[in-house]
Structure 1
Amino acid sequence: MDFTPTEEQAAARDLAARIFGDLSTHERLAAAGTGSDAELWKELCTAGLVAAVADIGLLGLVLLLEEQGRTTAQVPFAASCVYGLLAVTAHGSREQRERLLPGIGDGTVVVSGAMSGPGAVREGAPGRLSGVVPVVPWLRDATHALVADDRHRLWLVRTAEAACEPVELTAPWSAGRLTLDGTPGERLGGPPGERYAGEGPDGEGPDEVDRGEVDPDEEEWAPHDAYDDILATARTAFAGLQAGVCAGSLARAVEYTNTREQFGRPLAAKQGVQLRAADAYMDTEAIRVTAYEAAWRRDEGLAYATHALTAAWWASEAGQRVVHTGQHLHGGTGADLEHPVHRHFLWGRQLDAYLGCGSEVLQELGELIVSGEVET
């Protein structure tokens, strides 16, 4: 394993750090409220950072999301890259890639992910979906939603053709409630009756459509299960986002405790403060390295589902510890809802919930270990 960024990945990361640092300021975040920053989103897309993910891979995306997390920038970067760009690239048909990827890259097409629980969405009439997904992050920004039905088949739904109601979350993720009532959906990979073999995460595999007759009840063949791949990709990417949130929270705590004095000495001189900060640093590094490993394995075409679960567990379990520490080390200031560190706290807790609480993720990982489905 080599997690050293390539020249392209490092350049993209540095550019993202500059843009997020310049535009995702405390004042702009306060002005945005619970919505997204349209100007920042436009700047990121104009700079080519969304489109670049197709070339720099999941590890490159994790590096970019770390920079977003450090500033808690309110843009649908993670969602549109995971559920849009990477999903369509790996599992979309040639026609879908040609039609959708340019728009996703320039930001005119924004995709959110409605990877709902079992049975939440079903296909009634062919190509028509019904059901409710109570919470879809960044749905209010999205032109499309990637929806999973009760058979884990994936559909692209135009949000303009569905009912979308605003939902407020712990973090200001511009979320919404998605209601489908016979809503038309476009099957990711092509319409029923076509067997499409996507390229897959390793960039290999046939890229042709066999238009022979297919039993409508038979699952389409693909070299990689699209649902499982996108779920693992999302876990890895959002773990990377959590690594950035934690790093930003810890950086603020270090700055505060080094400048805030008590009885004539900086708070950082106290052993208890140092120990809390050291534990938070180790937790943050654990989140980062497990996310890097899962992302690197996907980019290399290796099995990575359990590695993504490991990253998600660290991001959930350790992430909430870090943001609690960041807030605690600010003392009473950390309880101020308007203070920047409180925003990191809200993001950290929201990511904890989005990835699944630590015990749930650990149970899923344990079941894979017991079943012998652990990758090496």
Structure 2
Amino acid sequence: MDFTPTEEQAAAQELAARIFGDLATPDRLAAAGTGTDAELWKALCAAGLPAAVEEIGLLGLVLLLEEQGRTTAQTPFAASCVYGILAVARHGTDEQRARLLPALRDGSAVVAGAFPASGDPGERGGIGADGRLTGEVPWVPWLRDATHVLVPDEERALWLIRTADAVVEPVELTAPWSAGRLLLDSAPGERLGTGPEAYDDVLAAARTAFAGLQAGVCAGSLARAVDHANTREQFGRPLATRQGVQLRAADAHMDTEAIRVTAYEAAWRHDAGLPCAGQALTAAWWAAEAGKRVVHAGQHLHGGTGADLDHPVHRHFLWGRQLDAYLGRGAELLQELGDLLADDVHLANGEPS
């Protein structure tokens, strides 16, 4: 495995860092409230970053999402790229790709994903014989921005539904992700892919992508904490000279690197066409468990300042906790990973699962 970015991936990451750094400022984030920064989304699309994901792959997307996470920029970038561009590019027919991808590339179409990170898709509704979907999803990130939503049915088949054919009710989450409640009442759906294999592929890609986003959230939180510890003095000495502060920051750094490297491995395998479900689960577990520790540490290392709800570090805390909930709780992910490993052992031994 070689996680060294290609020239195209490195250039895209540098461009993303510049755009997010210039436009996702604390003042603009505060002005956006709980919604999306429409001007930032336009800038990303005008720069060709969503379109570039087709060329730079999931590993390239992970690199871009790290930059988004560092600034907690409020755009549907992660969702539309993984549930829209990558899903359609990998599993759409020639006709679907020709019809859907141009609008996804320029940002005039946005896809959200009504995807459970774990559990049975059938718990959220079903598809009728006439190709119409009925059901409810309590919250879908960035649904209020979406023109389409990707929905799995009880058979783990994927259906692309126009939000104009559904009911979308605004929902506020822990993080300001422009989320909504999705209600489907015999909504017409367009089949994407050929069956459960497409669902498993998209779910693994989503887990990996959002783990990359969490790596950026954690890196941004830690950077703010380190800057505060180096400049804030207590009893005439910077906080950073205290051994307890150093050890807490070091642990947070190691956790952040663990999230990053496991996301890179899962993304690399996905792009190479190798089995990656186990690696995606591993990245998701690190993102959920370690991510939670890092954003708590970032807030604690700010001392009393960390309790200020308007301080930028609090946004990282909210995003980290939301990503923990979205990726699936650690125990659930470990159980799923254990079941997957057990199935692999049974298969290797020629035994039934």
- Name the TM tier (shorter chain): over 0.9
2:46 match: 46
SS of the aligned residue for 2:161 comes to strand
Change beyond 3 A, Cα 1:125–1:319: same
1:292 match: 264
- How many residues align structurally? 344
SS of the aligned residue for 2:185 comes to strand
With structure 1 as the length reference, what TM-score do the two structures score?
A: 0.90
SS of the aligned residue for 1:126 comes to coil
- Displacement of 1:139 in angstroms is 0.1
Q: Does structure 2 conserve the Cα–Cα contact (< 8 Å) formed by 1:368 and 1:374?
A: no
Structural RMSD (CA): 1.4
The within-5 A match list for 1:206-355 is 220=194, 225-355=197-327
SS of the aligned residue for 2:123 comes to coil
Q: 2:154 aligns with which of 150, 155, 158?
A: 150
The within-5 A match list for 1:45-64 is 45-64=45-64
Whichever structure has more helix as a proportion of its residues is 2
The within-5 A match list for 1:145-224 is 145-189=149-193, 220=194
1:6 match: 6
Amino acid at match of 2:334: L
Amino acid at match of 1:154: L
- Displacement of 1:311 in angstroms is 0.3
- Distance in 1 of aligned mates of 2:331 and 2:123: 23
The question of 1:372 aligning with 2:344 is answered yes
SS of the aligned residue for 1:333 comes to helix
- Distance in 1 of aligned mates of 2:346 and 2:208: 17
- Displacement of 1:146 in angstroms is 0.3
- Distance in 1 of aligned mates of 2:128 and 2:14: 47
- Displacement of 1:119 in angstroms is 2.8
- Distance in 2 of aligned mates of 1:364 and 1:295: 19
- Deviation digits for residues 90-126 of structure 1, max 9, x if unmatched? 0011111000101000000100001243331211241
2:140 match: 136
- Displacement of 1:301 in angstroms is 1.1
2:351 match: none
The within-5 A match list for 1:60-79 is 60-79=60-79
- Displacement of 1:129 in angstroms is 0.7
- Displacement of 1:373 in angstroms is 6.0
Change beyond 3 A, Cα 1:23–1:374: farther
- Distance in 2 of aligned mates of 1:109 and 1:140: 12
Q: Does structure 2 conserve the Cα–Cα contact (< 8 Å) formed by 1:312 and 1:361?
A: yes
Change beyond 3 A, Cα 1:334–1:304: same
Amino acid at match of 1:254: V
- Distance in 2 of aligned mates of 1:61 and 1:8: 12
User: What percent of counterpart residues are identical?
Assistant: 76
Q: Does structure 2 conserve the Cα–Cα contact (< 8 Å) formed by 1:304 and 1:375?
A: no
- Displacement of 1:370 in angstroms is 1.8
Amino acid at match of 1:337: L
- Displacement of 1:375 in angstroms is 11
Change beyond 3 A, Cα 1:375–1:348: farther
- Distance in 1 of aligned mates of 2:258 and 2:53: 24
1:17 match: 17
1:108 match: 108
- Distance in 2 of aligned mates of 1:124 and 1:16: 42
- Displacement of 1:374 in angstroms is 10
Q: Does structure 2 conserve the Cα–Cα contact (< 8 Å) formed by 1:253 and 1:327?
A: yes
- Displacement of 1:127 in angstroms is 1.3
Q: Does structure 2 conserve the Cα–Cα contact (< 8 Å) formed by 1:243 and 1:284?
A: yes
Q: Does structure 2 conserve the Cα–Cα contact (< 8 Å) formed by 1:125 and 1:182?
A: no
- Deviation digits for residues 296-320 of structure 1, max 9, x if unmatched? 0111111111000000000000000
The question of 1:124 aligning with 2:128 is answered yes
Change beyond 3 A, Cα 1:373–1:334: farther
SS of the aligned residue for 2:150 comes to strand
- Distance in 2 of aligned mates of 1:332 and 1:126: 58
1:197 match: none
Amino acid at match of 1:329: L
Q: Does structure 2 conserve the Cα–Cα contact (< 8 Å) formed by 1:136 and 1:177?
A: yes
Change beyond 3 A, Cα 1:373–1:158: farther
- Distance in 2 of aligned mates of 1:255 and 1:344: 15
SS of the aligned residue for 2:75 comes to coil
Q: Does structure 2 conserve the Cα–Cα contact (< 8 Å) formed by 1:303 and 1:375?
A: no
- Distance in 1 of aligned mates of 2:84 and 2:345: 28
2:82 match: 82
Amino acid at match of 2:199: Y
